[in-house]
Amino acid sequence: MKISLVQNAPVMGQPTLNLTSLDNLIGTGNGADIYVLPEMFATGQYLDPAPVVQTMEGQIVKWMQLKADELDAAVCGSLPILENGKYYNRLIFAMPENRMVWYDKHHLFTYSGEAENYTAGKERVIVNFRGVRIMLLICYDLRFPKFSRNHDDYEAIIYPANWPDKRIFAWDILLRARAIENQCYVIGVNRSGEDELGFYPGHSTIIDPYGGTLVHTDETPQMVSGRLDLEKLNDFRIKFPVIKDADR
């Protein structure tokens, strides 16, 4: 399976501009099965999302659905969603033919005030796409290994993020840790650029089940790709059955 990491630098509160910029960055695609975008890829990060909040029938979700059809691929990224009077940081996994799965961020970043405005999701979400089972998580979820524990029910994890330079060392290390402890591929896509909260240095990456780096970016907006080798992963799990010995 081919995965493309689409690392952009969203302009705060300008979804139309940001989506146009992403159209240019992605172009006609590069044959990937999944295009992964950062957290809040089209709006920028708002601790109070009222000025930019979307609905499931809104501009950004429609763009994702159209892009999935155009590219014949999944398009994945997070955005602020209003539903039943509550705000959610929702990771949308849009697939061709208007199929869609989503995950609401479970661990809200209390330190920044995210928990004051958003509602935490409760469900653990795994999507099966083209034969690969993928767990959907967002940014701060990376710090909580219990929630993401592999019960032999997925092969990869996706983490879109707004992870600042001040804590980028933790991002790099924790992505590697999640891959090693769960014997899976880990796909982390961070934004680039800056906003009022800080500077974002990219470091989007794909980590293999051994903890090796397949793809890694610098701080500039870009699209890069890597491949998940399920045969290699399955052979590794058979020869070294860590998951079967894990705590339940």
pLDDT tens per residue across span 83-122: 999 999 999 999 999 999 999 999 999 988 899 999 999 9
pLDDT recorded at residue 197: 86
Q: Are 123 and 103 in contact (CB under 8 A)?
A: yes
pLDDT at 245: 86
Rounded Cα–Cα distance for residues 185 and 154 (Å):
9
Q: What is the pTM of this model?
A: 0.97
Tokens of 217: 């970016």
pLDDT of amino acid 185: 98
Helices 59-71 & 15-26, crossing angle to 10 degrees? 10
From the centroid of its chain, how far is CA 68? 16
- pLDDT value at residue 86: 97
Quote the number of domains for the chain: 1
| Alpha-carbon distance values, 248 to 92, 143, 244 (Å) | 28, 19, 10
Q: Could you tell me whether strands 185-190 and 205-207 are parallel, antiparallel, or unpaired per DSSP bridges?
A: antiparallel
CA 132 from centroid of its chain's CA atoms: 16
Are 37 and 77 spatial neighbours (Cβ–Cβ below 8 Å)?
A: yes
Q: Which two tokens stand for residue 184?
A: 């899976």
Count the neighbouring beta carbons within 10 Å of the beta carbon of residue 26.
21
CATH classification of the domain holding 125: 3.60.110.10
Which pLDDT value is given to residue 113? 87
Measured between alpha carbons, how far is 132 from 111 in angstroms, rounded to an integer? Answer: 34
Residue 225 has what pLDDT?
Answer: 98
How many other β-carbons are positioned within 10 Å of the β-carbon of residue 219? Answer: 19
Entry field: residues in the chain:
248
167 three-state secondary structure: helix
Question: What is the β-pairing status of strands 34-36 and 74-83?
Answer: parallel
Residue numbers in the chain where pLDDT is lower than 50? none
Range of the domain at 111: 2-245
Residue 52 Cα distances to 124, 149, 190, angstroms: 26, 33, 20
Which residues are catalytically annotated? 39, 105, 139
Nearest to 8 by CA among 192, 183, 187, 233: 192
CA distances from 170 to 136, 144, 166 (A): 20, 12, 9
Residue-level pLDDT at 222? 98
